[in-house]
Amino acid sequence: MAHFNTGWSLEKLKDSTLIIPAISLGNIPQLTVDLLLHTRDFVSVGVLDDIYLHPFSSPVDVSPTKSANGISNAAEIYYSTKNNITVIQQRSPIIGSFTKQFVSEVILKLISDVSFNKVIILDSADAGLLEQSDAKTIELYTNEDLLNKSLETLKISQKTQLPLTSPYQYSKYVLELINALNSSASTVDIQALVSHVYEGDNFNDAELLANELSQTLDVSSTMNWIRPVSWLGVYGDKPVPNSMEDGLFG
C-alpha cells in the first residue's frame, strides 16, 4: 500500500516510467537512485508500506549545498514532472522470508493501481562470474528476455553462456518481482538494467549505471552527478577527527 503526500495521488503517476532498485551487491541500485534524486528534479510524493522491511528512519538526505527538515522512511516514492518518471528509493532491506509478501502486497499492488507505462528494475551482480565472457559491464534485458526465459539461463552475451555449474544469479527480490509480474494480468513493459561489479568503493559504478539508465530513459545524461551527504565518509574520504569533541568516530 502507498501513502501519498498532500496534493499527490495515484492518478498523477499514471503512464509514467517506474524505476525499482533491488537490494543487491554493493547497493549499486540504491546509490544510482540517490544520484537521480539529488541531480534531477525529483520531489517526494509518498511512502510505501514498510511492514516487511527492517525498521528505518533518518534525517532527510540532502546534497552538500542544501539543507532540509524531516524524516526519511524505509521506502519512499519520488516523481519528476519534467521527465514523467517515478522512482522508488528503498533504504532498508526486506526482512528474511518476506520477499514474496513485499513484492505481491506492496510493489505489485502499486504497479497495478497506478498503471505505469514501463517498469525498469535496477540490479547488481558479481562481476567475477563474467571473467570468462565478453559481456558488457552493464546489461539491459528487455521485456521479452524477462518474461519468456528463465532468469537462470539468460545468455550473458550473444556468443557465450555461463555453464550450469556457475549460474548467473539475479537477486531474490528481482526473481520474485519478475515471477509476480509474469503471473499477474499486468501488461506493463518491463526492462532490467544489471550492473556487474565487485564490492568495495562502488560510487563510480553507480554513476556508470546512472548514465546507462539515462540513455535507456532517453533523457540527457550528466557529467556532474550530485552525491548526497550520506555518501560522505563512507569509504574514508571524510577528514580524520583530531579533537575529543569529535568523539571516538567523529
| Least-confidence region, from 96-105, 169-178, 198-207, 237-246 | 237-246
pLDDT band at 157 (very low <50, low <70, confident <90, very high): very low
Look at residues 200, 166, 157 and name the one whose alpha carbon lies nearest to residue 31.
Answer: 200
Domain assignment present for residue 5? The answer is no
**What are the residues facing 80 on neighbouring strands?**
85
What whole-number distance in Å separates Cα of residue 181 and Cα of residue 138? Answer: 23
Domain assignment present for residue 58? The answer is no
Residues 130/209, Cβ–Cβ less than 8 Å:
no
Domain assignment present for residue 32? The answer is yes
Among positive and negative, which fits the CA dihedral 214, 218, 219, 222? positive
Domain assignment present for residue 50? The answer is no
Residue 3 scores a pLDDT above 50:
yes
Domain assignment present for residue 20? The answer is yes
- Residue 25, domain CATH: 3.40.50.12120
Residue 162 scores a pLDDT above 70:
no
Look at residues 9, 142, 174 and name the one whose alpha carbon lies nearest to residue 79.
Answer: 9
Domain assignment present for residue 165? The answer is yes
Domain assignment present for residue 146? The answer is yes
Domain assignment present for residue 238? The answer is no
Per-residue cell: 187: 501488461
- Classify burial at 69, counting beta carbons within 10 Å of its beta carbon; exposed 0-12, middle 13-18, buried 19 or more: exposed
Residues 134/207, Cβ–Cβ less than 8 Å:
no
Range of the domain at 211: 15-43+94-219
pLDDT in tens, 74-121: 999 999 999 999 999 999 999 989 999 999 999 999 999 999 999 999
Q: Give the amino acid at 154.
A: L
Q: Give the amino acid at 10.
A: L
pLDDT in tens, 10-23: 999 999 999 999 98
User: How many domains does the chain divide into?
Assistant: 1
Torsions phi, psi of 245, nearest 5?
-65, -25
Among positive and negative, which fits the CA dihedral 3, 9, 10, 14? negative
